[in-house]
Structure 1
Amino acid sequence: MIKAVVFDFDGLILDSETSVYLAIQEIFSEHSSHMPLEVWQQCIGTKDFLDPFEYLEEQIGEKVDREGLRAMHHERVVAMLDGTSALPGVEDYLEAAKELGLKIGLATSSSRAWVTGYLEKLNLLPYFDCIKTSDDVEHVKPNPALYREAVKCLGVKPEEAIAFEDSANGAIAAKEAGLYCVVIPNEVTKGLVFGDVDHQMETMAELQFKELLRKFG
């Protein structure tokens, strides 16, 4: 019996992943270079897998101001996200889960400040019973620690929870932690191979939450 749902954040609740990639592409273009999507996709859902500005240095054969470009990138992402809404169906799923009495968690490789700040802007923070971020674990996704901590915090067994993910790294983490996993790719992750997940759909808006639950008994 499903007793809880655990959401990823970036690219799943808010399409920040597209903005992050577009901002990287802008900076690379300004340095007469290019960040291939297939390289960037390996970074999505995790941290410290690839330093994009070290990669830029390798491509152009010269040093850059990494910290300055990192700050510029962050500013551009924030500007792109200004005024954006949650992805289709997200709030409906949260509302439906709450009405059914399910516990609601969040497990993300991003920082607590980043996530809670945007959840507040989207008026979604009150839905969550537990939030686990990179601040809470030594290793982020694809390591299963975040999901293990989330279900422990929610007081449910892993097999009693469904994870909602947009990335391959996130899906690996959810399945290794023992949760069911539903994948909803975004513009920068839709070409990925997600492996042994339990269901995949284009948006949460394509299937009502109660209908999805029936797939899990």
Structure 2
Amino acid sequence: MNPHPVQALIFDFDGLIVDTEVPLFEAWQENYAAYGHDLRLEDYAGCIGTDFSGWDPKSNLENLTGGPVDWDHWDTERERHAHEKIEQLGPLPGVGELLHEAEAAGIPCAVASSSSRGWVERNLHRIGLFEKVKLTRCRDDVSAIKPDPELFQTTAEKLGVPPENAVVLEDSLNGLRAAISAGNPCVVVPNRITAHLEFEGAAARVSSMEEVSVQKLPEWIQR
């Protein structure tokens, strides 16, 4: 008998488990508006799932203003505004159900995130899902974050699962690129910040985690 094609699930965190990306983007928008400028979604969306090494909103705003920006003030304000909103958020619809379903099927689940371990694990505890996750791999654990494949490669290795049997669930283009490079099938569930992007190479694209189930995944990844 052939083994089940899905032997592990690897979740991204920000924008997939909790909708943190919208409050963060809105906080940056407030920062830009204070200086009379707009932050374009198409610019910011390219940073989702990674860091600002490719495109830096701070450098961009400084170029737009042509003068200094009080980053000591705005870093504090931006983080405060975003985190106040994030603290009120629970898991996105369908996340808890999929974790429960995977647990019942004996399929281990992990989180692989470009964010810090402290951020990811604190929020997993806060929303009551930490115990459902067997493993977390974060920026603290690797030499390079998404779109580099190291996060997904090392997560599958730690779980003892071949990459082709470890399904990645992502909301970002950087996450999809990392999964493809690591050899993982990837199901994309875009958030409101990334919904306008094209996700070429994804095994499937759905609008909500409520559409994802252990029963559907084998068909999607074997197309």
For residues 67 and 171 of structure 1, what CA distance do their matches in structure 2 show?
34
Q: Partner of 1:73 in structure 2?
A: 78
Q: Is the CA contact 2:185–2:202 (under 8 Å) kept in the aligned structure 1?
A: yes
Q: Which residue of 2 aligns with 1:118?
A: 123
Equivalent in the alignment of 2:157:
152
2: CA distance between counterparts of 1:53 and 1:160? 40
Runs of 4+ with deviation above 4 angstroms: none
Deviation at 1:175, TM superposition (A): 1.0
Q: In the TM superposition, what is the alpha-carbon distance from 1:207 to its structure 2 partner?
A: 4.2
**The residue matched to 2:169 in structure 1 has which SS?**
strand
Query: What CA deviation, in whole Å up to 9, does each residue of 1:110-153 have, x standing for no partner?
Result: 00011011101100001111110000111100000000111011
In the alignment, the residues of structure 1 paired with residue 29 and residue 35 of structure 2 have an alpha-carbon distance, to the nearest angstrom, of 10
Match of 1:206 among 200, 211, 223: 211
Distance (Å, rounded) in 2 between the aligned partners of 1:65 and 1:150 = 39
Q: Cα offset for 1:76?
A: 1.0
1:17 match: 21
Q: Give, as a single letter, the amino acid of the residue that structure 2 aligns with 1:17.
A: E
For 1:153 and 1:55, how far apart are their aligned partners in 2? 39
Q: Distance in 2 between matches of 1:196 and 1:135?
A: 28
Q: Count the aligned residue pairs.
A: 217
**Residue in 2 that maps onto 1:84:** 89
Which segments of 5 or more consecutive residues in structure 2 lack a partner in the other structure? none
Percent pairwise identity:
35
Which ranges of structure 1 fall in alignment gaps of 5 or more residues? none
The residue number in structure 2 matching 1:107 is 112
60-69 or 155-164: which moved more?
Answer: 60-69
Distance 1:208 1:157, change over 3 A: closer
Whole-Å separation in 2 of the counterparts to 1:216 and 1:183? 12
Greater displacement, 71-80 / 45-54: 45-54
What residue is the counterpart of 1:143 in the other structure? 148
Task: Give the C-alpha shift of residue 83 in structure 1.
Answer: 1.8
What are the residue-to-residue correspondences of 1:168-183 with 2, within 5 Å?
168-183=173-188
* Equivalence for 1:27: 31
For 1:215, what is the secondary structure of its paired residue?
A: helix
Q: Deviations over 1:15-61 (max 9, x none)?
A: 10111111100111111111100100111100132331221111111
Q: Distance in 2 between matches of 1:56 and 1:95?
A: 43
Q: Would you say the 8 A contact 2:6–2:217 is kept in 1? A: no
The alignment's TM-score, normalised by the length of structure 2, stands at 0.93
1:54–1:66 CA contact under 8 A, matched in 2: no
1:167 is aligned to 172
Calculate the aligned-residue CA RMSD, in Å. 1.2
